[in-house]
Structure 1
Amino acid sequence: METEDLPSVPATAIALPKALQEAVQHGEVFTRRWVVEMILDLVGYRDELDLASLRIIEPACGQGAFLSPIVARLSSSCRIHGRPLLDAIDAIRAFDLVELNVERSRAAITTLLLDEHWSAPEVEKVVSSWINHGDFLLQRAGADTADFVVGNPPYIRLEDVPDDRMKAYRKACTSMSGRADIYIGFYETGLLRLKKGGKLGFICADRWMRNQYGRGLRKLVTRDYSMDLVATMHDVDAFEEQVSAYPAVTVISRRQQGAVIVADTTSEFGDEAAREFGSWAAEPSEGVIEKAAYHAVRLPHWFPGEDSWPSASPSRLAMLEQLSDRFRPLEDETTGTRVGIGVATGADKVFITYDGKTVEPERMLPLAMVKDTVSGKINWGGSYLVNPWDSQGQLIGLDAYPQLAAYFDRHREALSKRYIAVKQPTRWYKTIDKIDPRLARRPKLLFPDMKLTIHPVLDEGGLYPHHNLYYVVSNAWDLRVLGGLLLSKVAEAFVEAYAVKMRGGTLRFQAQYLRKIRVPDPVLMREEDRKALAKAFDERDVDAATEAALRAYGLDQFPD
């Protein structure tokens, strides 16, 4: 197997380092037969096709969980189409790093074919060609193109891989950035092997769709492929042993993005339900199906871009996609609506005080803290921000403010130890973020960073937000009306779909998630809906806010 232009690591696993061998074996999770059959059905690998003329790749074959059903279908196809088995010698490419796995897979496939009455010589030839002892990630690009790539990639953190091979992986698989799991490389390499129109079907952890290390892979999929199906299977007994892998079945094809099936399954999802789901997926007539074992919808397209992809029930995703297609984002130049975060000082004990006479009055800004927003109304606790910036965003000279100069000088040791001060020693008294005092004067909606539910609070003007608060300002919106929209379950659904939940179900209401929210044009909203939203916001009535928001969005109901 060729590995030119890569670090000098053998593509085959003849001298597989012990550490990597242990990591690979630890990362092996074998897939139940019915799950494999479902994936093969979903990608369209069926025996009525002339499979001997096509090629399927299994990149980490283990002990044959995928190979056995693949070969059974290929064998049946050869019989149906009157093909000798040797016609299919190039129809399968399977790889594994562990030599014992290769031996066991070859033995299992040999037995299967002999039991189907293929001759021993031709069985020996095809099996030795099909199943290879090697590293799929270090094949030369274009070495094997495929109509199908299927499997269950190993779950191995890159830090568990020896340094030389890790460098080879990073060079070969450009989407494997940061603290990526090795399965990212299997996705990338598998996708790059697909012919035009080819399909990849994996059962794998779904974290790459949302976390930082999956960004490169999301970019690749968005740019060159179509996400055809996502079936979340977190509660399904899909593997031969119990693991906490948060798996999902994904089908991705090499074509322009088209319609996509999104499904969520329950613990009741098994062999029979999988066959029923596969039959439904193959028929384009119905747009929604809901059973005890699964709930699925067809969306017109997948969510674009490399930012985190949403995670929600199929019905919620359908709603979010519809709203994303019909309405503009919350942050919008047309309405002058902006989302931001409060000031990070780098030394709160110095820059935040409760003594309003600490320094010159013009250097003191009343500061909004998270605790001031708890009731849903601003209840200012008396904190101030000692401000070293002028209204033009320039760091002031201390000579003009003797009280401020003396105050900072008393705390010079603590301020100078900060990274930002070490990096810019002449600006040792600056805050990490610049401060624009004009923001304090503007009316704004404030959002605590961490809450169980969305919690917009109106500051009529006068306070500057602290770093643990995010804010929304607007030139066009009545902020009480916008506050009602953002108090609703519809707005919260956007954040919940994109944000990673913390322990206990706490959500992060950060700027990147608030910007995902779509809102109607304030000019086009009906006056009765505006009044209802403003009233619901004033009364902190989430149900009333949701009811009014649904009318404003043109929705009949809020999906579960």
Structure 2
Amino acid sequence: MKGFVPTPVSIVDLMVTKLFKEKIPQKDDNLLDPGCGTGAFIDGIIRWCTLHSQELPNIIGIESDPRHIPEARRKFQDYPSIEIRNEDFLTNIHGKFDYIIGNPPYVSITKLTEIEKNQYRKLFQTASGRFDLYMLFFEQGLRCLEKEGRLVFITPEKYLYVQTARKLRFLLGRFFLKEIHLLPEQTFGDLTTYPTITTVLNVPPKEPTDLMFRDGSLRHLMLPREGSSFLPSMNGTSDKKPGYYELRDVCIRVSCGVATGADSVFIKPSREIDPCLAQFAFPTIAGRQLSIDSPLLHSEDSIIVPYSRDGKILPEKKLGCLGDYLSHFGNYNKLLKRTCVSRKPWYAFHENPPLNHILRPKIICKDITIRPYFWIDHTGEFVPRHSVYYIVPKNEEDLESLCTYLNSEEARSWLEGHCQRAANGFIRLQSNVLKHLPIPRSAFEHSNKRSENHESGIQNENPLMAIVKV
């Protein structure tokens, strides 16, 4: 099984206790361990039943990796109520179960083959966007859950708030989300996943969810059931504020920087750029080059761009010396190894850069940071790398006021309450979160005046009407 990670015994026992809390298993009950590996959770169930003098329920362990099957079958050969199957949990029908417990594999879409991606997209609602296998395990588990049944999974916490998991949150909204227990990030040693134990009951959702936070505090909350992020409810913040825009309302673009797919070819120290290539080069900056200690942007690197300033890729016959550079043996081989060449010219970036937006005065920020901070690119000449987000206001006059607000304590608090967690206490900014950042109307003197003039009949374009969605 891709993404298999052994579960610590202490966590297994904790999860089994949650599984049987308020509902002791009976001999005729059916229990499923999908992706059972060598049987860690089945061992935990045996321990619990022995400790509480209970007979084992009927247990089925499913494992797709044949390497784990012999050990699991050998371990439980003396238990007639335990069956180990060498099957794929995601592609087979398994019936209904009173209990389901497991540690689904953590495998991102980038680790799947095209055949697997297409197969899963046909089978699962949650296989959308940049999905992870554990989301599909959740959906399949909910399908297999008997009425009034209980499911306990340990997964990364990301499903609580990332846009990719919106459909999973919607599905969970049809069930009673009994408990969300946020575990210490060191639970799996050096593997930082921000693990979370989720307990789901197949009954109508009519009670608050118990949330156990990493600081030991406990809260009872009614979480949204339409698929939106759980973070605002968990952090006690509101998404809707009277007298506020959203960032996307006042910007042409809020987006991640350029992904070339071959930085070693396209990114060079500026001093090493051949004079012939200077016409294709722009100063570029990566997240690691941004420091809160330095309010000014500075970079000694340049990005070589095979696109015109309107974002259109240059015809190969017009590349000139750039074509010679890119077709050099070492560079050419690196470019051909990229997955994007199957659908784009061999010298194209992995993602087409919207230079008509990028090459404007803008605000930029790091994608992963301990504390959100924003800088202004007054010249508009910097091309941000993929580890940088850029924000282009509809009115250049709003750059200063917008950046000032983005660096305010109010904005920082909102971002810290809504953004995805990264390792070591860092947070991960994302465009879909940034776009919804509340911005006070009072911060936009120029935008407000233009809006008032338009409403008064003066022929000025209202900069807050057309929202360009990225």
TM-score norm. by structure 2 comes to 0.62
Post-superposition shift, 1:201? 4.1
Contact 1:257/1:302, CA 8 A, preserved across alignment: no
Q: Deviations over 1:179-218 (max 9, x none)?
A: 978x87875554223344x242426344573799x95993
SS at match of 1:192: helix
- Give the direction of change, closer, same or farther, for the CA distance of 1:193–1:506 in structure 2 (3 Å limit): closer
Q: Distance in 1 between matches of 2:235 and 2:161?
A: 23
Does the alignment pair 1:298 with 2:213?
Answer: no
Contact 2:166/2:227, CA 8 A, preserved across alignment: no
Q: Deviations over 1:44-65 (max 9, x none)?
A: 427xxxx989956364533523
2:394 to 472, 475, 494: 475
What letter matches 2:209 in structure 1? V
Structure showing greater relative contact order (alpha-carbon pairs closer than 8 Å, 6 or more residues apart) = 2
1:354 to 270, 289, 307: 270
Look up the match of 1:487: 407
Q: Distance in 2 between matches of 1:350 and 1:236?
A: 37
2:360 to 423, 442, 453: 442
Matches within 5 A, 1:147-546: 149=99, 151=101, 153=102, 187-196=138-147, 198-202=148-152, 204-206=154-156, 209=159, 218=168, 221-222=171-172, 224-234=174-184, 248-254=196-202, 259-264=208-213, 294-302=216-224, 305=227, 318-319=234-235, 322-324=237-239, 332=248, 334-345=249-260, 346-347=262-263, 352=268, 354=270, 358-359=275-276, 363=280, 365-368=282-285, 373-374=290-291, 375-381=293-299, 384-397=302-315, 405-406=320-321, 408-410=323-325, 412-413=327-328, 414-417=330-333, 418-419=335-336, 423=341, 427=345, 429-467=347-385, 468-475=387-394, 478-488=398-408, 491-492=411-412, 494=415, 498-502=419-423, 504-511=424-431, 514-515=434-435, 518-520=437-439, 522-523=440-441
Q: Deviations over 1:18-37 (max 9, x none)?
A: x9xxx99x768376878755
SS at match of 1:324: coil
What letter matches 2:49 in structure 1? L
Post-superposition shift, 1:519? 1.2
Q: Distance in 2 between matches of 1:342 and 1:225?
A: 39
- In structure 2, the gaps of 5 or more residues are 34-40, 63-71, 108-115, 449-470
Q: Distance in 1 between matches of 2:146 and 2:342?
A: 53
Look up the match of 2:42: 61
What letter matches 2:217 in structure 1? H
Contact 1:221/1:227, CA 8 A, preserved across alignment: no
SS at match of 1:61: helix
Q: Deviations over 1:377-399 (max 9, x none)?
A: 23444655444323443233577
Identity %: 13
Q: Deviations over 1:343-378 (max 9, x none)?
A: 344356556563699359865545455577434423
What letter matches 1:252 in structure 2? V
SS at match of 2:238: helix
Look up the match of 2:453: none
Q: Deviations over 1:132-160 (max 9, x none)?
A: 424497797473453xx254x267789xx
- Give the direction of change, closer, same or farther, for the CA distance of 1:200–1:329 in structure 2 (3 Å limit): farther
Q: Distance in 1 between matches of 2:344 and 2:203?
A: 55
Post-superposition shift, 1:425? 12
- Give the direction of change, closer, same or farther, for the CA distance of 1:173–1:93 in structure 2 (3 Å limit): farther
Look up the match of 1:143: 95
Q: Deviations over 1:233-279 (max 9, x none)?
A: 43999x9xxx999764322133565532211256xxxxxxxxxxxxx
Q: Which has the higher helix share?
A: 1
What letter matches 2:234 in structure 1? A
Post-superposition shift, 1:473? 1.5
Post-superposition shift, 1:295? 0.8
What letter matches 1:318 in structure 2? M
SS at match of 2:46: coil
The number of equivalent residue pairs is 399
Post-superposition shift, 1:470? 1.5
- Give the direction of change, closer, same or farther, for the CA distance of 1:29–1:100 in structure 2 (3 Å limit): farther
What letter matches 2:201 in structure 1? S
Contact 1:447/1:457, CA 8 A, preserved across alignment: yes
Q: Distance in 2 between matches of 1:405 and 1:492?
A: 47
Contact 1:137/1:185, CA 8 A, preserved across alignment: no
- Give the direction of change, closer, same or farther, for the CA distance of 1:380–1:513 in structure 2 (3 Å limit): same
TM-score norm. by structure 1 comes to 0.53
- Give the direction of change, closer, same or farther, for the CA distance of 1:422–1:508 in structure 2 (3 Å limit): closer
Q: Distance in 2 between matches of 1:407 and 1:475?
A: 33
Post-superposition shift, 1:461? 3.5
What letter matches 1:354 in structure 2? S
Q: Deviations over 1:59-80 (max 9, x none)?
A: 45335234357875xx9xxxxx
Q: Deviations over 1:64-119 (max 9, x none)?
A: 234357875xx9xxxxxxxxxxxxxxx95333574566566x6xxxxxxxxxxxxx
SS at match of 2:239: helix
- Give the direction of change, closer, same or farther, for the CA distance of 1:484–1:424 in structure 2 (3 Å limit): same
- In structure 1, the gaps of 5 or more residues are 1-18, 76-90, 107-127, 159-166, 267-293, 311-315, 531-560
Post-superposition shift, 1:445? 1.1
Q: Which has the higher strand share?
A: 2
Q: Distance in 2 between matches of 1:246 and 1:357?
A: 46
Q: Distance in 1 between matches of 2:151 and 2:370?
A: 35
Greater shift after overlay, 475-484 or 447-456?
A: 475-484
Contact 2:183/2:196, CA 8 A, preserved across alignment: yes
Post-superposition shift, 1:457? 0.5
